[in-house]
Structure formats: C-alpha cells, structure tokens
A and B are shown apart, each in its own frame.
Chain A
Amino acid sequence: MKGNYDKAFENVVRLRVMSILMVNEQYDFNSFKEILEVTDGNLASHLRYLENQDYVAVEKTFVGRKPQTNYSATASGKKAFQDHLDFLEQLIKENKN
C-alpha cells in the first residue's frame, strides 16, 4: 500500500503545525500560538516532539530586541507528511470501492 500512517501526525496540533509548515517557508512561535489557539506549554511540547523527530528545524533570531523562534519543515519532515497524505488519500480511495 502506498503511503504511511505516521504516528507523529496523530495529534491534531502536530498535524496542523506540519500543514502550516508545508505551505509557509517559516512560521514563528507566536503566530502558531495565535492561529492554533493553544497554550505556550502545549505548543512547545508538540514542537519539541517534531523537532526530536527531525521533522522541523528551529532557528532563533532577534527582531529588534525581541527574541523570535522560527520553525521550518525539514526535508525528512516534508517527506513524512507527504507519505501521511498519500496514506489518507489511499484510504479514502479504498473506502469508496
């Protein structure tokens, strides 16, 4: 069967984070927090999970004097997400038959 169901994307916050990073080159912590409406701690732990999987890369910079944490999807993260998408599509196709 094509694709692979990835446990990393079982959680809805991680799924959403990865969806956003597929279409945005970079996304910062506070923007994630606003769009996903989750708490700091919750978001941070999910982002760390993805980071440990080597699915996202972290870059800390300063905007003026404020620190900003930017996230981007790594090549392996993009591939894993694409596989996950393929799996879902395959599943839908099979259900139709």
Chain B
Amino acid sequence: MKKPEQELAEIKSMMERSTRFLSLSGLSGVLAGIYALIGGGFAWYWLYFPQSQWGDSSQLLSSSSLLPRLLLLAISVLLLAIGSALLLSKRKSKQKAQVFWNSASKRFMQALFIPVLVGGLFTFALIHESAFQLIPANLLIFYGLGLFAASNFTLGEIQKLGFFQLILGIMSAFFPDYGLWFWISGFGILHVIYGALMYQKYDR
C-alpha cells in the first residue's frame, strides 16, 4: 500500500483535473489586456481628441459615423483576445500533456460565455435604444458575472478578477461619463495585472 498522504493527494488531483480547466494561459490574459488598451486608445482618440474632455460622448455617438467604427474595433479586440486565449491555452495543455477539449473545459466555457453572450446581445439593445453611456457598465458587469460563474471550473483566482470587474461595472453605471476609462481599467489594466500574476504563479 502507498502512503496515505500520497493516496489522498492522488484523489485530490484527480478530482481537480476532472472538474477544472487548468490550462488557462496567464499570458493570454496579458495579451487580452494589451489589445484592450490599444483598442481603448483608439476609441479615446476618435471620441475625445483633440478636446480631451471627460464629458458625455453619447451626443457625439448618435449623430456621427463613429458608431460602426467603434463597433468594429470592439469586435476585433474581442476576437483577438479569444483567439489568443484559445491558442495559448491549447499550447499549454499540450505541454502539460492534458486534453484541451474535455468536460471540464466545456463546462468552463459554458459558464463564462452564457453571461457574456447575453451581455453582448444586451449591448446591441442598448445601441438600438441609443443608451450608449451604459455600454461600458453593461460589458463589465456581464463579463464579471461570467468570470464569477466560470471560477468554479478553473483556477480559483479568476473569481477575484470577476469581482473587480463587477465593482468597476457598477461604478461605471453611476458615473457613465467616465465609461471609457472604467472600460480601459477593467478590460485593459486588470487583465494585464491578472495575467502577469497567473503567469508568474503557474506558467513558468
């Protein structure tokens, strides 16, 4: 018989590996943050430059051709982030000789993407209703909820990321004039910090 400590460790690791998606790459978080910072920079430039005002941009938005451009920008940032996450996580699971597409990763994606998809649809409703000032809050809140739900199926630290996104989202809802800055803080800065911490802890 093996040592009981070893046997318990074995049991614990099997329970985790069969329920949790452990190959989520930290580096992909950093990259997602960088894309968001670049995207946010473009959005700021288009919306506010050269006046550099904090103020309300929704007036600007509803009357100009900026909206499709911003939408395209947002979707490209999203696709780039998802693409890098998939690619890097696939590579990580290969390195660790684990299966990428198993029941744990499926549950993780389901928990994350159902809130995110609903949030995306809700964003289109907000655009439709010209409630532009609430879009950053809406994106942060639904993303935060998705992270919170998905944290049951991956490394626990992601719950904290979700928590901070939710705080920023709620604050953004009360201070809609600073929406872009909340969005940049949440999707840009928080992702870079979180990704770097995770990379330090698990990927090296």
Contacts and interface: CB of A to CB of B under 8 A. Distances in A.
Interface string B1-44: 10011011011101101110000000000000000000000000
A20 B102 contact: no
A31 B8 contact: no
A89 B17 contact: no
Contacts of B11: 15-16, 19, 85
Interface in A1-36: 5, 10, 12, 15-16, 19-20, 22-24, 27, 31, 34-35
Contacts of A58: none
Given A10-B1, A35-B17, A92-B5, A24 B10 contact: no
Nearest to B13: A19
A91 interface: yes
Nearest to B99: A34
Nearest to B101: A34
A31 B103 contact: yes
Contacts of A88: 4, 7-8
B15 A20 contact: yes
Give the interface size bracket for B toward A.
10 to 19
Given A10-B1, A19-B14, A24 B7 contact: no
A22 B99 CA distance: 20
A16 B6 CA distance: 13
A15 B8 contact: no
A89 B17 CA distance: 22
A27 B8 CA distance: 21
Contacts of B10: 12, 15-16, 19
B14 A31 contact: no
Given A24-B103, A27-B103, A89-B4, 12 more contacts: A15-B7, A16-B14, A19-B12, A20-B14, A22-B15, A23-B19, A31-B102, A35-B99, A85-B8, A91-B4, A92-B5, A92-B8
Contacts of B18: 19-20, 23-24, 27, 35
Counting chain A CB atoms within 10 Å of each CB, which of B17, B18, B99, B102 scores highest?
B18
Contacts of B5: 92
Contact of A89 (B8, B14, B15): B8
A81 B193 CA distance: 41
Nearest to B11: A19
